[in-house]
Amino acid sequence: MPERQSVTIHYRRFRDENDVLQGRTLEDYVNDALDVEADGGPLRQNWSRRTRLLPPDAQDTHFINLHGNGGGHFFADLTHFTRGHMQALLERAENTPSLNVSQMPAPEGREYLHSMMYWLVRGNHVMVLQSRSIGTKQLEEYLSWLLHERSQMVGQPAVVILDPVLDADEVGGDLEDISSIIIGGSPLAPPPGPPPAQPQRGAEPAREVEEYRGLERKHAWATRMREVLRAVMNSDADVEQLLDSVPDGADLDVVVQIGYKLRRREVSREPMQRALRNLPDGDIRAVSKSGRQSGRDIRLSYTARVLKEGSLLDPEDVERALREAYDSFVNNGKIQP
| Tens of each residue's pLDDT in the chain, 337 residues | 789 999 999 999 998 877 888 889 999 999 999 999 999 999 999 999 999 999 888 889 999 999 999 889 999 999 999 999 999 999 999 999 999 999 999 999 999 999 999 999 999 999 999 998 899 999 999 999 999 999 999 887 778 999 988 776 765 556 566 666 676 654 444 433 444 444 444 444 444 344 434 444 444 556 667 777 676 556 677 677 777 777 777 666 666 655 555 544 444 556 656 666 776 665 667 666 655 555 567 789 999 999 999 999 999 999 999 999 999 999 999 999 9
Is the Cβ–Cβ distance between 219 and 191 less than 8 Å?
yes
pLDDT score at 197: 46
DSSP tag of 204? P
Which residues are within 8 A (CB) of 227 and not within 5 positions of it... i.e. 6 or more apart?
none
Q: What's the whole-model pTM score?
A: 0.74
Residue 54: closest CA among 92, 19, 83: 83
Angle, CA of 256, 261 and 264, to the nearest 5°: 155
pLDDT at position 79, please? 97
Model pLDDT, residue 187: 43
Contacts (Cβ under 8 Å, ≥6 apart) of 88 = 101, 102, 103
> In the chain, where are the structural domains located?
1-86+104-165+300-315, 167-192+209-299
Q: What pLDDT is recorded for position 227?
A: 77
pLDDT value at residue 195: 44
Q: If you count them, how many residues does the chain have?
A: 337
Secondary structure in 3-state letters for 118-162: EEEEECCEEEEECCCCCCHHHHHHHHHHHHHHHCCCCCCCCCCEE
